[in-house]
Amino acid sequence: MRDYALIHVNGVPREVRGRDAFMMLADWLRREVGLPGTKIVCAEGDCGACTVLRAFAPRGAGGSPPRFEAVNSCIAMVAQMDGSHLVTVEGLQEGDVPAPAQEAMLRCHGSQCGYCTPGFVMAISGMLEQHPVGEIDDRVAANHLTGNLCRCTGYQPIVEAACAAAAVDRRSVGDRYGTAEAFSRAEEAMDRGLEIAHEGRRVFAPTTLEEACAFASRHPECRVAGAFTDLGVPINKGRAMPPALLSLHLIPELLEMEDDGRRLRVGARVSLASLRRRCRDASPEFARFLNLFASPQIKNVATLVGNVATGSPIGDTLPFLLVAGGSVHVASPPAGRGPLRRREIPMTELYRGYRQLALEPGEIITHVAFDHDAGDETIRLYKVSQRKDLDITTVGAAFAVVWDGPRRIASARVAYGGVAAVPLRMPEIEAALVGELDPRKAESIARAIGDAVQPISDVRGTAAYRRVLAANLFRRFATEVLDG
């Protein structure tokens, strides 16, 4: 076991031990590494001021070439960044020559007070790592900048700067910092697990699932850490760091997706960005919908398993998983000697109450699985929030219907989020949908949905508003499928 996390910052390897391993990455970069170009504004993943680029490539990560992606450093814990290659705004410039994103921000007047500027420069640089010259237009650029806020300049000059930077031939960050030497040093370190303890806190990252399950059952108080995008926010807002954290980032099988052509099995450390790329063929509607999930910085690390395990009734992926035959695979230590105990829990049985999961103490979710879209099926996913990008859902809905005629439904699955303490499948509504669908029937089903749900009132909307939304989302679905 290592007693340090290995992190390359702007090409320089750093072994991080003790207290520093429990700091948030942005604080560590600014205070301990002496790189204050990374800014902290919201400290909760919402503004992008703290954006850095990260590449992570442990052995067995599916063989895809590592690439540098934009991530928020304010809600990432340093130990969780073990094995990562980070580039901060200080690492972009080559000698006296500013990077294309920096040059373009200057030329296009993309900065005024400048506080948000390093974050935008890093988000633009992350975009440039993913698209060849000539592939970026206003729409693509705006999508890559949904995780960044600016209070002074206005977004048009910044989007122009992103497009201008994209038109310039450039040497990629990956070419500069993704050297074989740096990657092989990190790989070698990651062949060994990590355990760091400091003043009553401990983070443990083993390389096998067996060790992870044994730790979870020996330490029932431990929190399993996915990418920390949910866990990190309350810690920044004053909640104590959990006394024991179990990180799964070194376990090769959890970094993989398996696809048998019918069902996709997604490991606990697969990012939503990788999942979205994979779903373009397997489940295009889900891939489209993931556009609306958080921001690129969050999706580049956050996991599907983490979304499922938060147990939040407004988790965006849950209505989809409920209609797509979703299930979670869990593992726990054997009673005596022998292999791990494994079981599969259908999503319809996972949620027992508000944020309560049907997991036994010591059980870890290893994968989430769901069906590919079937050819004869229509799937539609909807999210209503107070603004389109980077916002929490008020009500979400998923509809999947199989047709046996132009307007005749053979079977239907309907699920909602944000209308009860748990995400809901609605079997009575599904049964009522079977048969001919016409506008009159659609209206009566919309009313039945509004009557059936039991939402609560909170800052995002009253119970009455949510009832109307739930009914209206079905009206929208029916209109879309009836109008073809």
Ligand X SMILES: Cc1cc2nc3c(=O)[nH]c(=O)nc-3n(C[C@H](O)[C@H](O)[C@H](O)COP(=O)(O)OP(=O)(O)OC[C@H]3O[C@@H](n4cnc5c(N)ncnc54)[C@H](O)[C@@H]3O)c2cc1C
Residues 380-439 that bind ligand X (CB under 6 A): 390
Residue with tokens 């809901």: 424
Candidates 225-233, 345-353, 424-432, 454-462 — which segment interacts with ligand X by CB under 6 A? 225-233
Which listed option, ligand X, ligand FES, none, makes contact with residue 103 (CB within 5 to 8 Å by class)? Answer: none
Instruction: Please tell me whether residue 150 binds ligand FES under the rule CB under 6 A.
Output: yes
Residue 16 β-bridge partners: 5
The two structure tokens encoding residue 21: 């391993």
> What does 118 interact with, of ligand X, ligand FES, none (CB < 5 to 8 A by kind)?
none
- Of the candidates 213, 187, 190, 234, the one whose C-alpha atom is nearest the C-alpha of residue 74 is 234
Size, binding site for ligand X by CB under 6 A? 31
* DSSP letter (8 states) at residue 239: P
CB distance 90 to 37 below 8 Å:
yes
Number of neighbours of residue 2 by Cβ within 10 angstroms: 18
Smallest distance, Å, CB 42 to ligand FES?
4
* Phi, psi values for residue 253, rounded to 5°: -65, -20
Site string for ligand FES, 66-85 (x = CB under 6 A): ------x-x-----------
Q: How far is the CB of 116 from ligand X (least distance, A)?
A: 15
Q: Tokens 């979400």, residue?
A: 396
Distance between CA atoms of 453 and 426, rounded to whole angstroms?
A: 9
265 binds, among ligand X, ligand FES, none (CB under 5 to 8 A by kind): none
Nearer to ligand X, 173 or 395 (CB): 395
Question: Segment near ligand FES (CB under 6 A), from 37-45, 268-276, 303-311, 389-397?
Answer: 37-45
| Residue located via tokens 């205070």 | 31
Nearest to 116 by CA among 28, 70, 24, 50: 50
47, 123, 347, 359: which one binds ligand FES (CB under 6 A): 47
Tell me: does residue 231 bind ligand X (CB under 6 A).
Answer: yes
Q: Give the nearer residue to ligand X in terms of CB position, either 128 or 301.
A: 301
As measured in angstroms, the least distance from the Cβ of 440 to ligand X is 35
Beta bridge mates, 351: 357
Rounded Cα distance, 365 and 345, in Å: 10
Residues 259-288 that bind ligand X (CB under 6 A): 268
Query: How long a stretch of residues is the chain?
Result: 484
Nearer to ligand X, 153 or 394 (CB): 394
Interior angle at CA 138, CA 137 and CA 142, nearest 5? 120
- One residue of 33, 49, 364, 409 binding ligand FES per CB under 6 A: 49
The residue (of 80 and 111) whose beta carbon lies closer to ligand FES is 111
Distances from the Cα of 255 to the Cα of 17, 68, 268, 305, 331, angstroms: 25, 17, 7, 11, 16
Contact mark string toward ligand FES, 88..117, x via CB under 6 A: -----------------------xxxxxxx
Place of tokens 């948000």: 116
Q: How far apart are CA 170 and CA 136, in angstroms?
A: 14
In angstroms, give the least distance from the CB of 124 to ligand FES: 14
Among residues 50, 222, 270, 433, which is the contact residue for ligand FES, using CB under 6 A?
Answer: 50
In whole angstroms, the minimum distance from the beta carbon of 462 to ligand FES comes to 29
Closest CA to 38 of 2, 79, 92: 92
Show the tokens assigned to 469: 């939304």
How far apart CA 425 and CA 422 sit, in angstroms, is 10
Chain residues that interact with ligand FES, rule: CB under 6 A: 40-43, 45-50, 72, 74, 111-117, 150-153
Chain residues that interact with ligand X, rule: CB under 6 A: 44-46, 75, 223-231, 233, 248, 268, 293-294, 298, 302-303, 305-307, 309-310, 315-316, 364-365, 390
